[in-house]
Amino acid sequence: MNDKVNVRPTPVLAIHGGAGTLLRGAMSADKEQRYRQALEAILLHGQAQLAAGDSALDVVVEAVRRLEECELFNAGKGAVYTAAARHELDACVMDGHDLQAGAVAGVSRTRNPVLLARLVMQHSPHLMFMGAAADELARAHGLEMVASDWFGTPERLAQLQMAQQTASGQLLDHDGQTQAGQDSGPIDEGTKFGTVGAVALDARGHLAAATSTGGMTNKQPGRVGDSPIVGAGCYANDATVAISCTGTGEAFIRACAAHDVSALIEYAGLDLHEACRRVVIEKLPRLGGRGGLIAVSAKGEVCLPFNTEGMYRGQVKVGDAAPAVGIYGEAFI
């Protein structure tokens, strides 16, 4: 008789809000606290969902929806501008239980692109929709629509104007707060990759991942980065890991970064931390890739590595007294 009991790992949620160069001396303590409080509030809500038995998919989608609603991050409200002074937003969700996924690229009227990505996954035989057709799909299914200028903020517009005055004419993500004399956050907006994301393991042992972004400040209209690409910026598989990435999108696509972590676990037998280290610290820099990722394994392990100076990030398990939130190189990861 086998007396062993199959005990599932404790449910866990991890989120990120972008990575980049730190600006410890240029920020206000109040601005840093706003970032930390925003991350903590989202983690606490997700912790309550997981404790109530909600699915990993429900939890990551809601976490990213809340990040999209927060102007501090480059997704949804507060998204950056393209070179044409418009907004083109991307998102992806993936369910590790059955490897189903949905993604959208270049949407400009759907208030929460992550909800549209989930809609594509659950109500379409296709995996990705783009542009006006994606927005029309959202409208047809009753998702909230907004005017195209709803996503913008004065700070993001100033970043676009600053980017267009530079010699290169292109700056990554939401740029220019510090140069424009505004109160920057802890991470330099001139070098920040502002994608947001969430990964979770639920009480049934299922994994899920979600990623959303406004892209790069002053990007050429029509440019698509890694965020909506399954296996590049987002991936989940119950057998291995759930991943959401943030960084230089083209390099993450070329590296198949999110899937590569899973492959190193499944085929090479690496543990989560070594698999993440190989991708983030070794592979991506060789391709000019800067940024990081968040990962939750099938065993409930968490890894949040980055090769920049900082990354907005946090994690919480069911039963934890409080979330762990980081911006700099705190020891909790």
195 is catalytic: yes
**Alpha helix (H) residue ranges in 141-241:** 154-163
What are the CA-CA distances from residue 225 to residues 68, 92, 105, 193, 260 (Å)? 17, 12, 9, 11, 17
Of 289, 282, 210, residue with least CA distance to 244? 210
Residue type, 290: R
Active-site annotation holder among 110, 178, 191, 195: 195
For the chain, give the number of residues: 333
> d(Cα 221, Cα 23) in Å, to the nearest integer?
30
Of 208, 233, 237, residue with least CA distance to 57? 208
Q: Residue 216 in contact with residue 236, Cβ under 8 Å?
A: no
What angle, 0 to 180 degrees and rounded to 10, lies between the N-to-C axes of helices 56-68 and 29-51?
160
Residues acting as catalytic residues: 195
